[in-house]
Amino acid sequence: MKKTLLFFAALIISAPMFSQANNAIKIGIANLFMGEANIKYERAFNEQMSAQIGIGYIFPRDIVELANNRNLFETFDIKDDNGNFVDPTEIVLDDRIVNVTSLKTTGLRYHAEFRYYPGDSDPLKTFYIAPYVNYWQNRDNSATAVDDSGYNYEGELKMSYLGGGVQFGLQWLIADVFVIDWNFLGLGFGRAGLDASYSTDRPGEDFDGYNMSVVDFFENDINDADIPFFDPDYSVSNTDNSIEASLNQGTIMLRTGFSLGFAF
């Protein structure tokens, strides 16, 4: 009990020190335009070093609605072998067309970084160099579709990324209260993952054949690209009415951002 009281007393005594702009809470403005609410907390250890952690919530996106409204395939003149514009909500399987009726994704993002401010200034100010780690996951557990014969399909989709790198940025403090943080360049490397599965009530579906086609795509099309350092890993499995596929591959990521917040 005495140790607990001493701990809270130390916090009260040190409160004035915390008020000298050693901390900052920021909102990622650039993230908002990309459909994500992102909040960050930065703590300065001294004039030149700090650490920052952040979490982001990726707003739900209706991929079918976006595909229909934006007409991206018509905009970029993407056509099939017959000269017709590709419909991103249609999937051709053997002798039938499967229309995707629902595909909504949402997810979370986490990141942490260590910042070094090489300039001679107050904490949290000026140019910085920041090694970082980043993880995000975006998924849909209830994708649905129907084919032109009325059979139903259900699926799951998960996309993820884990990696790290280094970024460069500038941060300003206005009146030691308002924070402007511009991450103007970041370069990193990590592993991107894609997991997908689907099942159907359509009888006689050739899931063994689909399994072989997916394996052939992974082993030949992807591996034949022979991209250095990317080394794809994959797995495919199926039952009588479902198939699951997973792919993990190295990827280079560019990172930038702009945040506003308060220092205290």
Give the chain's end-to-end CA distance (angstroms, integer).
Answer: 30
Tell me how far apart the alpha carbons of residues 242 and 153 are, in angstroms, rounded to a whole number. 10
Share of the chain above pLDDT 70, in %: 80
Pairing of strands 49-62, 36-44: antiparallel
Do residues 176 and 263 make contact, with C-beta atoms less than 8 angstroms apart? yes
pLDDT greater at residue 24 or residue 66: 24
Helix, strand or coil, per DSSP, at residue 100 = strand
| pLDDT tens digits, one per residue of 79-136 | 556 666 666 677 777 778 888 888 888 999 999 999 999 987 788 989 999 999 999 9
| pLDDT tens digits, one per residue of 14-48 | 444 444 689 999 999 988 888 899 999 999 999 99
The residue-averaged pLDDT of 61-66 equals 77
- pLDDT value of position 166: 97
* Single pTM value for the model: 0.77
Tell me how far apart the alpha carbons of residues 218 and 222 are, in angstroms, rounded to a whole number. 5
Q: What string of DSSP letters covers 48-96?
A: SEEEEEEEEEEEEEEHHHHHHHH-HHHHTT-B-TTSPBP-TTEEEETTE
